[in-house]
Amino acid sequence: MKIRNILILSAIAILLAAVSLWIGQWTYSWMPPQAAAESHLVDKLFSFLITLGAFIFLGVTGTLIYSAIFHRAEQYDTSDGPPIEGNITLEIVWTAIPVLLVFWIATYSYQIYEQMGIQGPMEAMHIHIPIGMRSASAAPINGDAGIVSASPTSSIVSTDATSNVIAFEDIEVNAKQWAWVFRYPEKGITSTELHLPVNHRIRLAMQSEDVLHGFYIPAFRVKQDIIPNRNIDFEFTPIRIGKYELTDSEFSGTYFATMRANVVVESPEDYKKWLAEAANRKPCTANNQAASEYAQESKELIKGWVTVAPAQAPVVNYSN
Amino acid sequence: MTNISVEDITGDAPQQEPRTDWKQYFSFSTDHKVIGIQYIVTAFILFLVGGIFAMIIRGELITPESDLVDRSVYNAMFTMHGTVMLFGWTFPILTGFANYFVPLMIGARDMAFPRLNAVAFWMIPIAAILLMASFFVPGGPAQAGWWSYPPVSLQNPTGNLINGEVIWLLAVAISGVSSIMGAINFVTTIVKMRAPGMTFFRTPIFVWNVFSAQIIQLFGLPVLTAGAVMLLLDLTVGTSFFDPTKGGDPVLFQHFFWFYSHPAVYVIILPVFGVFSEIFPVFARKPLFGYKIVAISSLLIAGVSGIVWVHHLYVSGTPGWMRLFFMLTTMFVSVPTGIKVFAWTATIWGGKLRFDTPMLFAFGALILFVFAGITGITLSSVPIDVHVNNTYYVVGHFHYVLYGTVTMGMFAAIYFWFPKMTGRMYYEGLGKLHFWLAFIGTNLNFFPMHPLGLQGMLRRVSSYAPEYEFWNIIASIGGFLLGVSTLPFILNMIGSWIHGEQAPKNPWRAIGLEWLVASPPPVENFEEIPVVVSEPYGYGKSEPLVAEH
Ligand code: HEM
Ligand SMILES: [Cu+2]
Ligand SMILES: [Cu+2]
């Protein structure tokens, strides 16, 4: 290869790399707010994959479009192009590079996965130590222990490899067609709104009464299917105070789209206050969109068919 | 006389009149060419049906509220849309092209089992009519999505034995049996009936890809069929394979389903890769770069595709080691796929490019495929998939594959082989108009789904939070544009089939056995079975493809 060509190629590669890096940085703005420790990890990985992907996409389509512009046949030229049938070196290179890239991507994804400590259900069933995996704890959890022990609903259960204190907050999640109910076992509180203390490791015990549902909070980047007749344990760590949305992510029938709930992440003090307040409320029937739509004549232009009746609207201490 | 050079075609007088007997297309014909066209036309009609469902979906989603159709109707719409598009459009049209061109390309007079071939075809209209009939049973058609996961698919609110879900399962089973018959036929034909001299490494890539795809059908379909039968039993006679209330395991169904349905996407995409490999050399006037490695990649893809299905179950309660193992295998599919993409790019590079409609479609489809490949890699990574699984990000990804690559690739194939199949030329202007509407429409429709999914908008929802409205409006506009894009296509096909200019034997100056026979080919294809003496794609080499006789 001529020196000139090498220079041109390197210049193009550097330019592509710069553009790809820029696109990779841009990916952060495509995501919802980073409200859980997991979200930082996922977004970092996504940014990396898109950077790499952008480089490949721009490289390949750039080559194609360059050809489309500059390698056109003249109008009356019916001759053939050069009869190049292949090039062993090139073919080996473009097989080897993807193989290496696959290992790189897979290893990196694995590391992120480990740090997230997304647990498969059953794996950590009622074992109060994270097994082998470093949890995506909100870092740093500093001097939080005082608050933790003061709170009757949390307990210090383990330390992870980096010796951060992790406070587990156990909450039960019950999913049914089409409602979410959250139960705080220590105080026996039930709610249709999920309240969580910030910077605490949350551990959910999830169950479904009927069909598959999916627990998904986009701002947390976590998702897990809930399978009827099984206990699903699930963990994550909210790190940002605010109000988010929980949705059902596994299609669950007619009113699937209505199966949403608010998620309120608040300071441990506010959280305690909320618990105390909720404990004092009398249980009453919560609003349920599916149930009220089902009871009403449908308002759409095209009417539908008989459908599965929604389960009883939940009776809870706290609803919004 | 077979040396394909420029002089060669100038003397090419128009051949016989195209057969005017349209009735044969409604008969139980055993001619693979008639069956091929029967498949292609049936598939296209079903594409329009699936398209109408898509328009209703996009109409509902243009506003955040559920206000166009009832939620149960919406659920039926996306269920039927997915089902019709896959089992009615992509599978049949690919089978149609394989039927028409595999025997021609390998120098055979017909498929190995012509009667089986006809039976397999006629099961498709039956399955389609059955599926449409389910709109008229109490409770309406199936509403559990094309995955039909239990327990939702087992909930039968009307209590009737004949219900949409039962009919859906029967239709899918019929289509599955039809595909198994087809697979046996194709594999036998390709193994046994190649013309003398056509060794495996002289076989066109389209045939390699059909072969690989049909092997997948052979090992995968029995598993899906078993799963479907078990679901049917649960639904009708109350067995408890998948019903958790009776101790069944709903996740087991997901394994049955995806063990086949993931490889099924390669059944769909491989023949399209074949079409790319046929079209690029012709319109770049260069041999296919790295022919052998491209051929072998098809088999590799088919092989690896058998061990990736659990990537659809990352959040279904799958243990960690399984998540990681299947992440690695899934990523590995990108290696042989990447080889192909690079090979096509190198074929195009430095060629003498001509952008007739088939090339435009193939070229556009390749670009859209590269995009889909990038998002596909992100999906294979467990932590990312945990976030975007079941969101519009996935819907965007697979429509770049299914519309951007497969459907656009099929249009490329239709334009490319239309002269051969009908003996007429299509109208270039309408073809180009079709391309630009489809290319722009695809991007407007499916690109916005990526940001929507990243933001957390779920698939299969009939209403959504107002903050997702902007991108949904763009997507709906793109969707309607895609609807409009079929009009110039239909006009073109009907108009040119009736009035089009007579097509020569070989309008593209392409190399291949199918271009040596008349357009359309005579009933027996070849007067005398050709003897192949060189590799395909010898552009620029002026060597004969077959021996003189
Ligand atoms: C005008 C063209 C098209 C439009 C506007 C369109 C639109 C959509 C939309 C919006 C969904 C998501 C529905 C939902 O989750 O609620 C969907 C699902 C789907 N589409 Fe399309 N689509 C088009 C063409 C195609 C084609 C050509 C294919 C296949 C070859 C296809 C296959 C599917 C499948 C398999 C699903 C999944 C259905 C399910 O979730 O059960 N689509 N389509
Ligand atoms: Cu649900
Ligand atoms: Cu898959």
Q: For B369-391, give the DSSP string.
A: HHHHHHHHHHHHSHHHHHHHTTB
pLDDT, tens digit (0-9, with 9 covering 90-100), for A96-145: 999 999 999 999 999 898 888 765 444 443 333 333 334 455 443 333 33
For residue A245, the surrounding DSSP H or E stretch is strand A242-248
Partners of A253 on chain B (C-beta within 8 Å) are 75, 143-144, 152, 155
pLDDT, tens digit (0-9, with 9 covering 90-100), for B356-397: 999 999 999 999 999 999 999 999 999 999 999 999 999 999
- The pLDDT assigned to A119 comes to 54
Share of chain B above pLDDT 90, in %: 79
pTM: 0.92
Cβ–Cβ < 8 Å for B400, B369: yes
Ligand 1 pocket residues where CB is under 6 Å: B 51, 54, 57-58, 78-79, 81-82, 85-86, 89-90, 145-146, 395, 399, 402-403, 406-407, 445, 459-460, 479, 482-483
| A155: confidence class by pLDDT, cuts 50, 70, 90 | very low
pLDDT, tens digit (0-9, with 9 covering 90-100), for A159-170: 333 334 356 788
For residues B19 and B365, the model is more confident at: B365
How many beta carbons lie within 10 A of that of residue A92, not counting itself? 11
- The pLDDT assigned to A140 comes to 37
- The pLDDT assigned to A69 comes to 94
Share of chain B above pLDDT 70, in %: 96
pLDDT, tens digit (0-9, with 9 covering 90-100), for B144-187: 999 999 999 999 888 888 899 999 999 999 999 999 999 999 99
- The pLDDT assigned to B278 comes to 96
For residue B162, give the DSSP letter. S
Mode of pairing for the β-strands spanning A260-266 and A189-191: unpaired
- The pLDDT assigned to A167 comes to 64
- Rounded CA-CA distance B349/B19 in Å is 40
Poorest-pLDDT segment among A91-105, A213-227, B12-26: B12-26
- How much is the ipTM here? 0.91
- The pLDDT assigned to B130 comes to 95
Q: Cβ–Cβ of B335/A54 closer than 8 Å?
A: no
Report whether pLDDT(A289) > 80. Answer: yes
- The pLDDT assigned to B549 comes to 61
DSSP string, B422-438: HSBPPPHHHHHHHHHHH
Report whether pLDDT(B436) > 70. Answer: yes
Poorest-pLDDT segment among A110-119, A254-263, B11-20, B408-417: B11-20
Partners of B354 on chain A (C-beta within 8 Å) are 72-73
Task: Measure B264 CA to ligand 2 centroid, in angstroms.
Answer: 28
Tell me what the mean pLDDT of segment B197-201 comes to: 93
Report whether pLDDT(A32) > 70. Answer: yes
Tell me what the mean pLDDT of segment A195-221 comes to: 93
Task: Measure B314 CA to ligand 3 centroid, in angstroms.
Answer: 11
- The pLDDT assigned to A239 comes to 92
Nearest CA-CA distance, residue A45 and chain B, Å: 8
**Residue B449 alpha carbon, nearest atom of ligand 1:** 10
Q: Cβ–Cβ of A85/B317 closer than 8 Å?
A: no
Poorest-pLDDT segment among A4-8, B8-12, B139-143: B8-12
Share of chain A above pLDDT 70, in %: 84
Task: Measure B308 CA to ligand 3 centroid, in angstroms.
Answer: 7
Q: Cβ–Cβ of A83/B540 closer than 8 Å?
A: yes
Using DSSP, state whether B158 is helix, strand or coil: coil
Residue in chain A lying closest to B376 (CA) = A53
Tell me what the mean pLDDT of segment A257-263 comes to: 95
**Residue B461 alpha carbon, nearest atom of ligand 1:** 16
pLDDT, tens digit (0-9, with 9 covering 90-100), for B49-87: 999 999 999 999 999 998 899 999 999 999 999 999 999
| Residues 6+ away with beta carbon under 8 Å from A241 | A198, A265, A266, A267
- The pLDDT assigned to A153 comes to 31
- The pLDDT assigned to B159 comes to 86
Report whether pLDDT(B311) > 80. Answer: yes
Cβ–Cβ < 8 Å for B464, B457: yes
Q: Please give the mean pLDDT across all residues of chain B.
A: 91
